[in-house]
Chain A
Amino acid sequence: MYTYDEFDHALVRERTEQFRDQVKRRLSGELTEDAFKPLRLMNGLYLQLHAYMLRVAIPYGTFSSNQLRQLAMIARKYDRGYGHFTTRQNIQFNWPKLSDVPDILDDLAAVEMHAIQTSGNCIRNVTADQFAGVIADEVDDSRVWAEIVRQWSTFHPEFAYLPRKFKFAFSASEHDRAAVRFHDIGVIAKRNTEGDLGFQIMVGGGLGRTPMIAKTIRRFLPAQHLLSYIEAILRVYNLIGRRDNKYKARIKILVHELGIDELSGLVEAEWERIRESDLKLPDSEIQRIRDQFAAPEYEDLNDDDPAFAAHRFEDRDFARWVSTNVAPHRQAGYAIATISLKPEGGVPGDVTADQMDVLAGLGDQYSLGELRATHEQNIVLPNVKQTDLYDLWLALKAENLGTANLGLVSDIIVCPGMDYCGLATARSIPVAQRVSRRFADLDRQLDIGEMKLKISGCINACGHHHIGHIGILGVDRKGEEFYQITLGGSAGEDATVGSIIGPALPSDEVVDGFETLIGTYLDLREEGERFLDTYRRVGLAPFKAALYQEKLHVAA
């Protein structure tokens, strides 16, 4: 894992001291709220419906047991005993006092964490494939490159006041686990025919009120040019991106209005000017960062440990958890375990301070002290010996963290919605809780198969509803909560924006409606099909007919 050097430490400490002084001046009246608001946002501090909310970055989703223990301490000491993992590999605290925030930032800095650039019109926390460095299919460890971009983008003076926020995501392989096609810049690790490392660079993806799939601006960028090329993109965007209308200010609108070819021409021209500058990454610097992510000292083990096989044979629930929540590790004898933060009826992404301590302990005991946060609001233990999986699962089960539902109906992405968020138009968490209870039977979920349900409480789409196999968007209709349903979205390499099925449903009908859609799929599916496959084969019509109880007319 990356360890701060003296520059990182100094930078974070300095920022914390600055903010301490700013808070003091705000509380004394020297600073007005208008003057203070942009300053607090630069430090990840929002004022939400009930209280302040502090968003803490977990760069590229990688963190240590020690860091998680500190987050538990913060949740207990300054908050109400829990935190909430978000869809961008951040953790949010929902109840901090303004007067405590400088101390919280100090406590974060002590474990090499911060809330810098988790808000505002700047380059936000850089996200990445949660399996980077451990998954068998990876081209290269995206943490290395995400860390290089984190260093480049932190307090980059030219890009502190962009037209709008700017989000990077990195994929370690062709198989996209990081929704890179729905980020302002998506970076996919590749090798060319000579075997050299480079990246496919995609630009202009995003969700919100104008969902768009990123377009490829460069098919193969040699790795040493990563910073010069993305700086060229950012510079062009910063200069000509729209600032007259915040709804048209993201780079996706620029890509749409200019066209990818014209934008590419401008970027390439700027890149020609700077490609041989200091931004060109020397091999020594790449290696220096890569060394920080060197593989831990794995034991020399074999796959198919007999005890592991025996436990799977003897304990059906364990076997099910392994089949849904465990992914193959690139090191023989090891596994990647994803811990679901979606227990039956729970709040997706919520973790209590006690659970954080347990997870930190399990990270130390079974995963060489390392954890990952996923954009799907779960936690990963990336380095578990196969022979330890059973004990790990028993320990998780005891803490209500052993739910075997990864990728199934109840593994729902959900934004905080109107229970917390000042922007929301409807609640989203209670809908997820109701779906989770309705589909509590895991056998039923397994039978349904892969289902990505994503729920947002407003058009800003923090709950990624556009790219759910089924998406639910909460809207306000004359003061009542209604829910608009979209079908057929996908966040992965087959990126698709879902289609709206029809008129929104009232709150008390939305779970029934969802169940009708699932029932329709089960009636229509052919051997081996997931919901998404069936939907792509038959289209919207039969689902629409079933949902709105029209007669289905099949052409003769």
Chain B
Amino acid sequence: MTLQMITANCLADGLVVYQAADDSWCSLIQDAEVIEDEDALQARLSQAKAAEGNQAVVGVYEVEVTEDEGCIRPVRLRERIRAFGPTSHPEFGRGQAPEDLSPTTISG
């Protein structure tokens, strides 16, 4: 199986969160749990859905990621933008954004 993470938005403030290994919800993708097999994914997803029922988060789903020398990065661009913030407003970014999300990478 490809590597996965579980994500959602925090119910109260709407911000992007990821499920950490200790069941807490963290805002940085580097702090999230990387899930490596299907059984674990299903188990963690059902725990996360339970958190929806506790008004912690909303809209739980899994995100495919890659890990390269400890650097976690979602596969899909949409998820990279969710993880690191709007590229049009880098001042609201979170964590270390990969180079392909930098607005200056592609020259005008």
Contact = CB atoms under 8 A, between A and B. Distances in A.
Nearest to A434: B108
Interface string A402-438: 0000000000000000111000100101100111111
B62 interface: no
B88 A419 contact: yes
A27 interface: yes
Interface stretch (B18-26, B32-40, B65-73, B79-87): B79-87
A81 to B, nearest CB: 9
A507 B101 CA distance: 12
Contact of B78 (A28, A418, A435): A418
A51 B88 contact: no
Contacts of B54: 29
Contact of B13 (A26, A99, A427): A99
A480 B76 CA distance: 9
A98 B13 contact: yes
A433 B103 contact: yes
Given A28-B55, A419-B86, A430-B103, A511 B108 contact: yes
Nearest to B85: A50
A119 to B, nearest CB: 15
A262 B86 CA distance: 47
A304 interface: no
A95 B15 CA distance: 8
Nearest to A51: B14
A33 interface: yes
A388 interface: no
A416 B56 CA distance: 27
Contacts of A434: 106-108
B55 A27 contact: yes
Contact of A435 (B81, B89, B108): B108
A48 B81 CA distance: 12
Interface residues of B, number: 29
B50 interface: no
Given A33-B52, A99-B12, A438-B108, A47 B58 contact: yes
Interface string B1-35: 00000000101111110000000000000000000
Contact of A80 (B13, B55, B88, B92): B92
B98 interface: no
A110 interface: no
Nearest to A438: B108
Contact of B77 (A418, A420, A429): A418
Contact of A419 (B15, B52, B89): B89
B77 A51 contact: no
B12 A481 contact: no
Contact of A47 (B59, B75, B82): B59
**Residue among A48, A98, A345 with max Cβ neighbours from chain B (10 Å):** A98
Interface in A432-462: 433-438
A49 B58 contact: no
A391 interface: no
A98 B57 CA distance: 12
Contacts of B14: 47-48, 50-52, 95-98
A42 interface: no
**Residue among A96, A345, A419 with max Cβ neighbours from chain B (10 Å):** A419
A434 B53 CA distance: 44
A508 interface: yes
Interface string A72-106: 00000000100000000000000111110000000
A347 interface: yes
A52 B75 CA distance: 24
A51 B15 CA distance: 5
A49 B81 CA distance: 8
A50 B86 contact: yes
A283 B81 CA distance: 55
Given A427-B88, A437-B108, A479 B52 contact: no
Contacts of A476: 77
Contacts of A98: 11-14
Nearest to A480: B77
22 contacts: A27-B55, A33-B52, A33-B58, A47-B9, A47-B14, A49-B16, A50-B14, A50-B16, A50-B85, A50-B86, A50-B92, A97-B13, A99-B13, A347-B88, A418-B78, A427-B88, A429-B87, A434-B108, A435-B108, A436-B108, A479-B75, A507-B106
Given A50-B15, A50-B16, A51-B15, 15 more contacts: A27-B12, A33-B11, A47-B14, A48-B14, A49-B81, A96-B14, A97-B12, A347-B89, A429-B88, A430-B88, A433-B108, A438-B108, A479-B76, A479-B77, A507-B106
Interface of B: 9, 11-16, 52-55, 58-59, 75-78, 81-82, 85-89, 92, 103, 106-108
Please give me the 5 A-B residue pairs with the lowest Cβ-Cβ distance, nearest first: A437-B108, A52-B14, A419-B86, A434-B108, A429-B88
